[in-house]
Amino acid sequence: MAEENNTPVFQIQRMYLKDLSLEQPNAPQILLEQTQPQVDINLALAAEPVVDGIFEVSVTATVTTKVGDKTLFLIEAKQAGIFEIRNVPQEQTEGILGIVCPQMIYPYLRAVVSDVCTRAGFPPVLLTEVNFQAMFEAQQAAREAAANGGEAAAAPTLN
């Protein structure tokens, strides 16, 4: 029966919206503008241990939409999940936390951002697909280059 205790475990415990904010600092005047807004989207990832074998992983999207130098609206949404990961080697655990978990969370985040835009009276902002594996590999390469004393190329960070 000792084999059962060493069986790798990966389970979703819960998905939830951890934080959400919408700001329209220049409303209502800016709502009368007919100029096409510029949209800037930033993503951030975080993975934190909660207790032994339980991790919280979150993906945060910050969407800033401007007309000229004035903010039309700003949305920040953080979607999170609690995952159980046990009896998995450390290097595989890092990949699960940096690739697999964010891939599972991201569709929920995309839906939240789109819904908030619509409810705020704007056309939905559709977040594009993200290659979390490429982001993870770039971050790993930057970490290795920094550890070897070399200049790391600019890479997306997993906070």
Cβ(158)–Cβ(137) below 8 Å: no
CA 7-88-146 angle, 5° bins: 175
pLDDT in tens, the chain (159 residues): 444 578 999 999 999 999 999 999 998 988 888 888 999 999 999 999 999 999 999 999 999 999 999 999 999 999 999 999 999 998 899 999 999 999 999 999 999 999 999 999 888 999 999 999 999 998 888 888 888 875 544 444 444
Give the integer Cα–Cα distance in Å for 90 and 109: 27
Q: Count the Cβ atoms, other than its own, within 10 Å of residue 42.
A: 11
d(CA 60, CA 20): 9
Distance CA 113, CA 124 (A): 8
Backbone angles phi, psi at 93, to 5 degrees: -60, -45
- CATH number at 2-147: 3.10.420.10
pLDDT recorded at residue 35: 87
Task: Write out the DSSP string of 16-77.
Answer: EEEEEEEE-TTTTGGGG--SPPEEEEEEEEEEEEEETTEEEEEEEEEEEEEETTEEEEEEEE
pTM: predicted TM-score of the whole model, two decimal places: 0.84
